[in-house]
Structure 1
Amino acid sequence: MNWRIETKKTALLLIDLQDKLLSVIENRERVVQKAVQIVKLAKLFSLPLYISEQVPEKLGTTCKEILEVAGDVPRLSKNTFSASPILPADIPKNILVCGIETHICVRQTVYDLRMRDKTPYVLGDAIGSRNQIDHQLGIEEMRQDRVLITSVEAIAWEMIEKAEGAFFKEFLSILK
């Protein structure tokens, strides 16, 4: 089995990173900063990008920091906790997952993606919950169920093939 991330078979999913929800998330700044970083990397590697919004008519839209780097990407409205039902049938095999809340929408989405025979990679530094114990328990549960919890930087280094040229320089500028 190949453990490397194949970018041609990978997409990025951002779950419910809306200002109204983010305002109560512990470590909000880190979650947003890492989400912005992975969006920039997704664009560099030409990964499909999916953005879910939980009941946006009540909770507002995705935060401006992410929208500024994401560009003109459709945002998918949902009223379920899992984002899986709103994703297209032909999404790639590997899904990089970030967003909020770890123990609710992220967790349920991850399990539903697995039911669709997808491989979720949870970006542990780009997820969060209102309180630390729910965040930690959500991560522990997923990890016990053999879901890979990793970081934005670890995934980035998995995707890059060579340490040379203009592409590599742009890659490094995103990680700084």
Structure 2
Amino acid sequence: MLLDRHRSLLFVVDVQQRLLPAMGGGEGCVARIGLLLEGARILDVPVMASEQYPKGLGPTVPPLRERLGNAPVFEKITFSCARDETIRTAVLGTGRRQLVLCGIEAHVCVLQTALDFAAEGLDVSVVADAVDSRRASSRELALARLRQAGVRVVDSEMVLFEWLERAGTDEFRAVSKLVR
């Protein structure tokens, strides 16, 4: 099944100032998340984000915070966003059945969020080039475990072009400029 922008919700997990520097490929991950956020804006895909204990780990990094605009950003202390009742209610309340996840850390908060929302019946996709962990081995194990659990593992361009569906539109031209 392809991703459908009318059924999708993009969720950015915990890309925070004090957490990002410890990531193996953090800046590349931030760039890919920025690409997804800009594509979501162009294509009217709703966006939400979380921050794990921001008092200790800081806020969302400025380049992403700016791109989030007015999107809701939820503070949490649970690793899984689905185990925070406010976030769970907000995600399920959108009526969007396709959840596209990106962020950090792949093997902790992203993994647990993906598995829990998949158990809730959502069609979950994790964007492999837009997630990161402190160790590459942890990231790779998380992606393998997600695949084994039936969670779709995609990359950022797959997401954008599935949301687009076709060429020859103003939206296509705008998104194409982003990926060049």
Match of residue 48, structure 1, among 42, 46, 49? 46
Asked if structure 1 preserves the Cα contact closer than 8 Å seen for 2:166 and 2:172, the reply is yes
Q: For 1:145, which of 144, 149, 159 is the aligned residue?
A: 149
Choose from 86, 89, 93 the match for 1:90. 93
Could you tell which deviates more after superposition, 11-20 or 88-97?
Answer: 88-97
> d(CA) in 2 for partners of 1:35 and 1:165?
23
Letter in 1 for 2:160: A
C-alpha distance in 2 between matches for 1:160 and 1:73: 21
Report which stretch shifted further, 152-161 or 33-42: 152-161
Unpaired segments of 5 or more residues in structure 2? none
- Unaligned regions of 5+ residues in structure 1, if any? none
Distance in 1 (alpha carbons) for counterparts of 2:166 and 2:157: 16
**Structure-1 separation of matches of 2:62 and 2:119:** 32
Moved over 4 A (4+): none
Does 1:124 find its partner at 2:122? Answer: no
TM-score with structure 1 setting the length: 0.95
User: What TM-score, normalized to structure 2?
Assistant: 0.93
State which of 167, 174, 178 in structure 2 corresponds to 1:174: 178
Distance in 2, matches of 1:119 and 1:129, equals 23
Identity of aligned residues (%): 28
Distance 2:115 2:171 in 1: 34
Which of residues 132, 147, 161 is equivalent to 2:165? 161
**1:136 is the counterpart of 2:136:** no
Distance 2:68 2:48 in 1: 10
In the alignment, residue 62 of structure 2 is paired with which amino acid?
K
Q: Deviations over 1:129-171 (max 9, x none)?
A: 0011111111111111121111000111111122113222111
Which residues of 2 match residues 64-75 of structure 1 at below 5 A?
A: 64-75=62-73
**Cα-Cα RMSD:** 1.1
Aligned equivalents of 2:175 and 2:130: distance in 1? 18
Q: Distance in 1 between matches of 2:175 and 2:156?
A: 12
Deviation at 1:4, TM superposition (A): 2.0
Q: How many angstroms apart in 2 are the aligned matches of 1:105 and 1:54? A: 9
**Per the alignment, in what secondary structure is the counterpart of residue 23 of structure 1?**
helix
- Asked if 1 retains the 8 angstrom alpha-carbon contact of 2:29 and 2:131, the reply is yes
